[in-house]
Structure 1
Amino acid sequence: MTCYDRRDLGLLLLRLGTGGVLTAHGSQKLFGWFGGGGIAGTGQFMDSIGYAPGKVSATAAGLAETGGGLLLALGLATPAAGAAAAGAMAGAAAVHAPNGFFNQEGGFEYAASLGLTAAGLAVTGAGRLSLDHLLGHAADRSWMVPAAFAATAAATAVAVGARGRRLRKAREGQQGVLFE
């Protein structure tokens, strides 16, 4: 008989809570569930905040949140799941950063909390109450942690960097109009 300790229970609770929230948010983007805009509505929003093309950005964010969240909740492929979710939250944090830290002011607090929790789970692992453990950690090898974070960091840097360039161009264009 296997005995689980409180760390395993704690990791399960973190995975279920964080994974559930991420899955719900991603489902808003992908399917329009829970009052979300679906791909079309979220795509329009993504375009409006500089993540273009909007539908591609909505799909990528939705898949990272829904897929990453589901996999975190199950404790399956935890390094990739946590890194993907953390990358999506880094993209969200970039949108909210100009508003400061606190969520009540529109800041990045919420996105940062979800992203850091997902990243922590990716590094720590899912624990013994997980599919990773049940499957002998076939999708949770030690080398997967740095590989997943490197891939996610590169993709996030490209997406956030491109958004920043679009926003700067838009501001420069507006300034040009103001001074003509």
Structure 2
Amino acid sequence: MTDKQTEPSAEAGTPAQAAPGTTGEPVRSPFDSPTEQFAATSSELPITQPTERVAAPAAATATQVTEKLPRTDEELGLDPEVPLYSQVKNAIPGAANSTTAEPSPTYSFASIPPAPTAPTDGKGRPLRRDERRGTLDLGLLVLRLVIGGTFVYHGLQKAAGWFHGPGFEGLKTSMEHGGWKHVDIAAPLLIAGELGGGILVALGLATPLAAGAVLAVILDAWMWKQGMTSGFQYSAKANGVELESILAGGAVAILLTGPGRLSLDRGRGWSTRPFLGSFAALVAAVAAAILTYIYLHGGNPLSGVGPF
């Protein structure tokens, strides 16, 4: 009679499982089939209870639990207004099988605020932290105005006789007395270097060429004063080279740092990040000054300076 009672439960559509007995049969986990419900484990069943008496209640319990399983979005607690990924994946740019370039729909609970805009230069390129120059460009502007303005002042003295200057003819006479040769060539070169180079340095235009020109001119003046008498003439009263040394150092600084963004060269690479070109201009200016001094004056300008 036991076999006849268990047959209808199997035919009702609910799988009737044999309860574990005392023979050590393996017990299935509820995670193997989440929709099924087990009445008890082997530890909960008394050893003396017959298997057929447990199978029927277990099947009935499983049927009751299966009927109560949530099947709709409301029963599962889902928001019916939020589409599934399978419904919106074609609208995600770059996703597999994407058919549109439009961004996917956003929702208030999943929206992310945009990242802050990074600072950019004049051409729209993002600036790195080491490119945030602060007051560097303003300082370079002051340096250019002082150095360039000083050369313009001395150039106007020699070219037009302004500011109690000797004028062009007086310049040629003083250069002849100072031992310079070919003054008809040397005087115009001196005026062009001081006046033209000074204006360009102050404006920040063609800075490597302009700063190289004023550097070559002031180095020749330094060598001329230094070569007059033996010994280092840095702070001598008659022919000291202190002013020439300061102006030469300022010209070198402008060459190596660039004119900055407050200049007419602001779109050039050497305005903010000079490298090989500006260094080559520095070397060329020093070489031009030495060759010009040797050709137009001669002598050893370092006489009496250290081992020279």
Contact residue 77 and residue 139 of structure 1 kept, 8 A: no
For 1:17 and 1:166, the matched residues in 2 are separated by: 31
1:18 partnered with 2:152:
no
Aligned ranges for residues 87-106 of structure 1 at < 5 Å? 87-97=216-226, 98=229, 100-102=233-235, 104-106=237-239
Letter of the aligned partner of 1:35 in structure 2? Answer: H
Residues of 1 paired with 2:282 and 2:251: CA distance? 11
* Contact 2:144–2:201 (8 Å) recurs in 1: yes
Helix, strand or coil at the partner of 2:259: coil
Higher helix share: 1
**CA RMSD for the aligned pairs?**
2.5
Name stretches of at least 5 consecutive residues in structure 1 with no aligned partner.
Answer: 168-180
Q: Which has the higher contact order (CA 8 A, sep 6+)?
A: 1
**Contact 1:91 1:160 (8 Å CA) reproduced:** yes
Distance in 1, Cα, partners of 2:236 & 2:184: 26
CA contact (8 A) 1:40 1:55 kept: no
Contact (CA 8 Å) 2:213, 2:285: kept in 1 or not?
A: yes
Residue 107 in 1 paired to residue 240 in 2?
yes
CA distance in 2, matches of 1:36, 1:96: 18
How far residue 142 of structure 1 moved from its aligned partner, in angstroms, is: 4.2
Any idea what SS the aligned residue of 1:34 has? coil
Give the structure-1-normalised TM-score.
0.80
When structure 1 is superposed on structure 2, of 35-44 and 101-110 the one drifting more is 101-110
Aligned to 1:131: 264
**Corresponding position of 2:137:** 8
| Cα distance in 1 for residues equivalent to 2:300 and 2:189 | 18
Paired residue secondary structure (2:265) = helix
8 A contact 1:76–1:139 mirrored in 2: no
Q: Which range moved further: 141-150 or 29-38?
A: 141-150
Structure 1 residue 164 corresponds to structure 2 residue 298: yes
The answer to whether the Cα contact below 8 Å between 2:171 and 2:187 also exists between their aligned partners in 1 is: yes
Which structure's CA Rg is the greater one? Answer: 2
- Does residue 1:80 correspond to 2:214, yes or no? no
SS of residue paired to 1:160: helix
Aligned counterparts of 2:222 and 2:264: Cα–Cα separation in 1 = 30
| Structure 2: gaps (5+ residues) | 1-120, 123-131, 302-308
Query: Contact 1:29 / 1:59 at 8 angstroms: preserved in 2?
Result: no
- 1:148-171: CA deviation from partner (whole Å, max 9, x where unpaired): 23432332112211312499xxxx
Asked whether the 8 Å contact 1:42–1:55 carries over to 2, the reply is: no
Q: 1:126 deviation in Å?
A: 0.4
CA contact 1:11–1:127 (8 Å) conserved in 2: yes
| Alpha carbons of structure 1 residues 103 and 71: separation in structure 2 relative to 1, 3 Å | farther
CA apart distance, 1:55: 2.9
What is residue 165 of structure 2 aligned with on the other side?
36
Once residues 258 and 173 of structure 2 are traced to their aligned partners in structure 1, the CA distance between those partners, rounded to angstroms, is 36
Q: Contact 2:215/2:251 (CA < 8 Å) preserved in 1? A: yes
Q: Deviations over 1:32-56 (max 9, x none)?
A: 2222122211011111112221232
What is the alpha-carbon distance in structure 1 between the residues aligned to residue 286 and residue 133 of structure 2? 34
Preserved contact between residue 80 and residue 144 of structure 1 (Cα < 8 Å): no
CA distance in 1, matches of 2:206, 2:172: 28
The alignment-based identity, stated in percent, is 35
Structure 1 residues 11-62: Cα deviation after superposition (integer angstroms, max 9, x where no partner):
0000001110111101111222222122211011111112221232111111
- The superposition leaves residues 98-127 of structure 1 with CA deviations (integer Å, 9 ceiling, x where unpaired) of 361015342111111111101210121000
